Structure 1
């Protein structure tokens, strides 16, 4: 869970650093949003590149190696002397860090008992989600007292430490399929994409992640909330909801996976619509963002579990495709925020609410397709 938190947190740690980075590099807000999107682009590519390799060479080996290389690339990112260099390094950082989540999820799918798997999956998925807020809180706290580069340098140290811990606590690998050509490992990806009922759910997951990244990036761009104390309150308000999400895994299991997604999208969309009217009040906005995060937090585990179940023996490949779709959405989120936020927070909120409505429609399509498959 800590590794998942650290890995995904790398996407969000630059958000509180925007002001300091812009001042040092003398660039505009557009360049800063690409600092986020560049990582998301590489991160999504890393899932597809390394997910099948973890099935072939072992989840422990790929995960530990990825964490070590991530430490090096993160260190270099923290030393970048100009925005274009930083953007290029962020693509590389995302690509390497993208080896971590598929290996983690595949390890959970193969090593955790089925009776406990839903709770563990929800817990790890919540770590991915909680990184949205926790990474920003940590980053903001550090940059208030130290140079912004300290955040990246500290992350590099944590990657190295956690690599050593993972190597000592994870079970030894027992990979299958090494006797087959390497292309066989990647052949699972097109097979996953041919699972018709899964595709609409992947689109819904991507749109949901775009909203998650877009709302926090947009708030930073609009300047809706000023002062580090108010920003910290806004970001920390979602933490109780995130901590409660694993506890909801058992009651949510009574619903089908598409049913869970429909519930999550509905809750998130209602919160986003309400924010268009009450976004100027800090306390109300804090509560609405917490509700938004809670709704979105139900969606990702449902998509991941569906992908893992339908993926069969190619669990890592299926998980990597699902996560790829999430972070394609995350790549789009800052771009949408940069386009909508200059017109004011209400325009941003309505735009993101519209994305959630589209996500709901795709979820309904996925539900109907899965029912058709079940009755066929």
Structure 2
């Protein structure tokens, strides 16, 4: 039951597995073209910078869409937004699969990114409020694992499938997953929420000021911006400063990323202990683990490549622990009527941070690798301190002298 004592449909195991697969397929769309940008530029007969617009157009529209579909799901219901969003995403993905014009492809990718945003924040809220505490925790953990691993698996899939048969062919299996998920969701009981008019939909944004004014939520959103920013910058710095040294050791940039793949399973460990230690403590564990991993990476530098890669696993594990812990924290703090908006805002700031990662990577491109990694460790360390001081303030308020 939710906070309003309304009994909600509990998804079956099969539907939960399909939602997790769909989460992987949706977020992988962002990373899918990255390995084949030079090939895409050649096929479309455009400059590499124009081909990169296939990625940036999706990403910018994707982030903007979070702030639309989260509040919309609060008004119209989670299921309805996901069904129509995934059906539209399947149609758009299947259509642009046959596009061979750069302007049309970029425009199609922007539309695809905006529609794709109807799924991630909504499915998180959907699963976070259905079933037992154990079911909710595990569902969010698996969804978080899918979101995180898409950054690597999406590139591997893009390099192998899109690299061989083209971007359009690679999108078709994803379109099938979207269509199947939409169909499966449409066969579940409708949400209890009733459709609202445009004025009520706009009223869904009214809690935004209250969410931002909540000091507890600010201590989620603030560090969340830093999380993916440091994640993206780390791997850009690794390519720039350690790429040649790694290749000399027979380690490709993709292999360097694959080393950390087991760390993407960290959200599952969170599910085991979350109910016992609480989301707030897990946030601290995640941020401190990521900070320690970055600090060890800075110490290893290019002089100890195997130590650098080993420490990267610790860093990625910290990110993997933090993401679902932040989600659980937001879901626990936000009231049910504003939960979709609160989760959407969290997802939005995550991808704002990710978009700042390349900029920070360029700013620090001329720095020695240990300096860059030390900066990232300091930023995450400050995020952890920000969370910790908030916890101490809350404890002090509960136990006045």
Q: 2:75 aligns with which of 23, 36, 56?
A: 56
Q: Which residue pairs with 1:360 in the alignment? A: 384
Written as runs of structure 1 = structure 2, the 5 A alignment for 1:14-93 is: 14-24=33-43, 25-28=45-48, 35-75=54-94, 78=97, 79=99, 81-82=101-102, 86-93=105-112
Q: Quick check: 1:215–1:349 contact (8 Å CA) kept in 2?
A: yes
Shift of 1:124: 1.5
Shift of 1:148: 4.0
Greater shift in the superposed pair: 170-179 or 201-210: 170-179
User: What SS does the aligned partner of 2:215 have?
Assistant: coil
Distance in 2 between the 1:267 and 1:368 partners?
A: 20
Q: Which residue pairs with 1:302 in the alignment? A: 325
Q: Quick check: 2:229–2:355 contact (8 Å CA) kept in 1?
A: yes
Distance in 1 between the 2:73 and 2:54 partners?
A: 28
Higher relative contact order (CA 8 A, sep 6+): 1
Shift of 1:177: 7.0
Q: Which residue pairs with 2:132 in the alignment? A: 113
TM-score w.r.t. the length of structure 1 is 0.85
Distance in 2 between the 1:89 and 1:234 partners?
A: 32
User: What SS does the aligned partner of 1:145 have?
Assistant: helix
Distance in 2 between the 1:372 and 1:34 partners?
A: 50
Distance in 2 between the 1:154 and 1:192 partners?
A: 38
Shift of 1:317: 1.5
- Any gaps of 5 or more consecutive residues in structure 2? 1-19
Q: 1:335 aligns with which of 359, 363, 367?
A: 359
- Any gaps of 5 or more consecutive residues in structure 1? none
Q: Quick check: 2:129–2:136 contact (8 Å CA) kept in 1?
A: no
Distance in 2 between the 1:344 and 1:20 partners?
A: 31
Aligned residues: 373
Distance in 1 between the 2:331 and 2:359 partners?
A: 30
1:260 correspondence with 2:282: yes
Q: Which residue pairs with 2:273 in the alignment? A: 251
Greater shift in the superposed pair: 344-353 or 233-242: 344-353
Shift of 1:67: 1.2
Quickly say closer, same or farther: Cα 1:251–1:302, change in 2 above 3 A. same
Q: Quick check: 1:66–1:96 contact (8 Å CA) kept in 2?
A: yes
Distance in 2 between the 1:282 and 1:163 partners?
A: 45
Distance in 2 between the 1:268 and 1:253 partners?
A: 22
